[in-house]
Structure 1
């Protein structure tokens, strides 16, 4: 297939591009910078220069493609409203371009907030609707296009997609531990984060593109939940730092912006996804990656 990928040079997107190319698909990646364009071209991918605000460019690229994987996001946690607005506009533009084609359209979403007091499942509806909700309510927006002839599906990524070179949440938490001189966790540390290795996540995206039916809610989850205390202890061992609890009310002042996320419960299962796509994760676990030095340390 000819696949258009946004976020193609990002942490997950670059692995997805590699996976798609290895499987024989033609890939066009969205690139904001010359450096990103060069990296994509060196892999054998085509390049579409632009960003999420270039709606005309997004539409043209989607119209020329046989499938779209939307992984980009501005991730501006200071101006979240602008990020959500840009995300919603981009998703609507990409989906509009595919109306009536029955072509796949996969978009990145998240697991956090889907369920309270238990692991989230693929049966859990996303409570986010409308432009003012998290991510601009784009999962539900995309699913509206199933009835318009688009094979839309959601990739509900866990809080951490880990591996060597990751600059995401775990990297930030490790950096805070170094700066504070203590590897901390909120409360009693029993909150859990689902996790998946980057390579396993990329393989799932490729399988979903090739096989998933319209309306699929997919969980790229290898580990149902790793406790925040276990994460803090692993970082503590990696950097030879003491480990301690932080009052949940003080989490944001201790950790900064990521404190609100670290205090959340983000456990999830992936039984339906595994059965549907015949996907079996094989990569290292989160704690194995931390111990192996994926996030620095001794």
Structure 2
């Protein structure tokens, strides 16, 4: 099939592009810059120039495709990041693509996250975000995408683990390493027993392909290779590789140590992949998070 991919040059998106091409699909990637366009061309994909904030551009890309993987999200990991505005832009993108695909039975896969779900217990694919939670604003986008199944779209949401890890990762784990270097110690909140699901980049990319190929309409899938890695174990590996001490910080101290990441560091959000494996035949095979960290590439200068 010809797949239109947003976020096609990002950490996950570029792996999805390669996964799709290797499986024999054709790929058209959204590019807003010359550098992104060149990267897509070099990878063997076609280029659709446009911007995530332009619904007409997204609708045109979707209409010309046999399926869509919407992996882009406006991330700005700074103190001025407006999460609500980013979610609003994402919802407009979902609505534009959904309108273009309505009645076609074509697949439409969007990205979401397991961290949006209720903490403290193992979340399944059938769980939804608590309406009063911080993540509920993005969870509404997931609901909008899944609801497109009632409009003749084979829609599915892939909920990525808080850490999608692998070479080139600039996400949460890399940020934790940078913070440890800056502060002079690796930290966890309290006893650090809180758990983060994790998935290797290659496994996440394969799940997106399988979702496009065969996910039942209206489903939520979990890109979860490990149900939950204790945060203190992540901190311990970081401390050992940087030759720094590992310390506990209190919830009150978390903001001064982690900055805005203090909202994420103490999350206890384990998640299951049982239904995902059943529905699309996905089996994670990549290295686990601590194994990946032990390889040392995260700590290269």
Place the TM-score, normalised by the shorter chain, in its bin. Answer: over 0.9
1:226 aligns with 2:222: no
Rounded Cα–Cα distance in structure 2 between residues aligned with 1:68 and 1:148 = 16
Contact 1:166-1:294 at 8 Å conserved across structures: no
From 286, 290, 301, the equivalent of 1:287 is 290
Contact 1:128-1:137 at 8 Å conserved across structures: no
**Alignment partner, residue 7 of structure 1:** 7
1:100 aligns with 2:103: yes
Contact 1:87-1:136 at 8 Å conserved across structures: no
TM-score, scaled to structure 1: 0.96
TM-score, scaled to structure 2: 0.95
SS state at 1:234 partner: helix
**Alignment partner, residue 74 of structure 2:** 74
**Alignment partner, residue 163 of structure 2:** 160
Rounded Cα–Cα distance in structure 1 between residues aligned with 2:102 and 2:295 = 46
What is the CA RMSD across the aligned residues, in angstroms? 1.5
Rounded Cα–Cα distance in structure 1 between residues aligned with 2:131 and 2:30 = 27
**Alignment partner, residue 41 of structure 1:** 41
Give per-residue Cα distances to partners, 1:97-154, cap 9 Å, x unaligned. 100000000000011131232111112123459xx94327210011221111011101
Rounded Cα–Cα distance in structure 2 between residues aligned with 1:12 and 1:171 = 15
**Alignment partner, residue 236 of structure 1:** 239
1:18 aligns with 2:21: no
Rounded Cα–Cα distance in structure 2 between residues aligned with 1:68 and 1:128 = 28
Contact 2:112-2:139 at 8 Å conserved across structures: no
From 107, 114, 118, the equivalent of 2:117 is 114
Segments of 4+ in structure 1 off by > 4 A?
none
Aligned residues: 296
Rounded Cα–Cα distance in structure 1 between residues aligned with 2:131 and 2:33 = 32
Alignment of 1:255-270 (within 5 A): 255-270=258-273
Give the gaps of 5 or more residues in structure 1: none
* Alpha-carbon distance, 1:84 to partner: 1.3
* Alpha-carbon distance, 1:297 to partner: 5.2
* Higher deviation after alignment, 116-125 or 12-21: 116-125
Rounded Cα–Cα distance in structure 1 between residues aligned with 2:116 and 2:153 = 26
Contact 1:84-1:136 at 8 Å conserved across structures: no
Rounded Cα–Cα distance in structure 2 between residues aligned with 1:113 and 1:100 = 30
Rounded Cα–Cα distance in structure 1 between residues aligned with 2:242 and 2:263 = 23
